[in-house]
Homo-oligomer: A and B are copies of this chain.
């Protein structure tokens, strides 16, 4: 094992120059972000891009929306990186002729590949713009839920013009009925739009404590990087290597800037990331999953987000009461402060909690996914934890310091990534 690592490094250094350069870009982007964020704190406070950190005793006002400069640094890094993978095709026309003579396998300039990268960056940038507009203008949920679909248009259109594949391979168990592959046609685009909307909003939903947004994004990005590296190493299929290389070109600098942002957003946070970052991160990851042709593996990396979303549904869609904030509650203990799970109180006379809502809660309770803190005389639930992953963790662990809570969620995220790798590389045999 110890011997393998330098061999992998040597392999990459020899066969994948662009990847080495991408890594250098990622490191530079990390350093620049690290340098830039502290300088922007005051200008952001002056521009009233700020928020109160309600989970601290002194309720400090922190600069918000620092995801914007971070995203801009990322986009500039990507702009400058664009030509690198195409360097072999460059130069005057004479040089092209020369290249053709000496390396005929290179063929003509891969404009479709370049277009793919441009459309991906365009989709990411659209989401940064809409995210920033949301941070400044506070757009209503019923409008902003569609933002990712709008931002995803360039990507879908490029997918379409690129004679996009719109079939999926059928699981073995279903093949007798559906055949080896299922042509989804236009439904495939619905599937991609759903994926984009889900990825983009899911990071924004699992939020509210220091370091959680940047932390989960970093874990997912690193999981994708590991997955890509596994595909690239000694893979004879050139096309497969290429898509995973492009995934790495997007993910490495993303991991770099996210790590720097996490440094300042970690407990006790000096800055907030804003919706801008959550949207930007979600879109970047979704784009990579789609263009890298691994949407299913991607969904596996989002297990905690998916759980959090499904678990939240009874409240999000108002089957049970949903207070405006579902953040944990602050509890002072001696000199330290801890977070404990926040609760919702049910009122059976008022509309929201009808029979359906109660059935949902009973179901969650049966699964052990609900901490009931009060019941009425008939045994009906009167008070239980708010339905978010963060509150569920607190319900199980009891009060935690904020940094320990973030760490607990990130450990869950890492464990889910390991599970995803297990499913992807071991269990998959039984399905495909």
Contacts and interface: CB of A to CB of B under 8 A. Distances in A.
A160 B79 contact: no
B163 A93 contact: yes
B137 A47 contact: yes
A23 to B, nearest CB: 20
Residue of A89, A132, A133 most packed against chain B (CB within 10 A): A133
Contacts of A160: 83, 90
Contacts of A153: 76, 79-80
Interface stretch (A13-21, A122-130, A294-302, A352-360): A122-130
A92 B166 CA distance: 11
Contact of A111 (B76, B80, B111): B111
A115 interface: yes
B154 A72 contact: no
B129 A72 contact: yes
A55 interface: no
Contacts of A128: 129
Contacts of A158: 114, 118
Contact of A132 (B49, B76, B118, B133): B133
Residue of A111, A119, A132, A157 most packed against chain B (CB within 10 A): A111
B111 A154 contact: no
Contacts of A72: 129-130, 133
A115 B121 contact: no
A112 interface: yes
B118 A44 contact: no
Contacts of A112: 109, 111
Contacts of A122: 118, 121-122, 125
A193 to B, nearest CB: 14
A307 interface: no
A48 interface: yes
A108 to B, nearest CB: 10
A86 B129 contact: no
A49 to B, nearest CB: 7
Contact of A154 (B121, B126, B137, B157): B121
A290 to B, nearest CB: 16
Nearest to A119: B118
Interface string A197-230: 0000000000000000000000000000000000
Contacts of A150: 76, 79
A257 interface: no
Residue of A79, A109, A128, A130 most packed against chain B (CB within 10 A): A79
Contact of A136 (B47, B80, B93): B47
A138 interface: yes
A214 B347 CA distance: 55
Given A76-B150, A83-B160, A161-B83, A129 B125 contact: yes
A82 interface: yes
A119 B158 CA distance: 13
A194 to B, nearest CB: 19
Contacts of A109: 112, 161
Interface in A86-119: 86, 89-90, 92-93, 96, 109, 111-112, 114-115, 118-119
A236 interface: no
Interface of A: 43-44, 47-49, 68, 72, 75-76, 79-80, 82-83, 86, 89-90, 92-93, 96, 109, 111-112, 114-115, 118-119, 121-122, 125-126, 128-130, 132-133, 136-138, 150, 153-154, 157-158, 160-161, 163
Given A47-B137, A114-B158, 12 more contacts: A68-B133, A72-B133, A80-B153, A82-B154, A83-B157, A83-B161, A111-B114, A118-B119, A118-B122, A122-B122, A125-B125, A125-B129
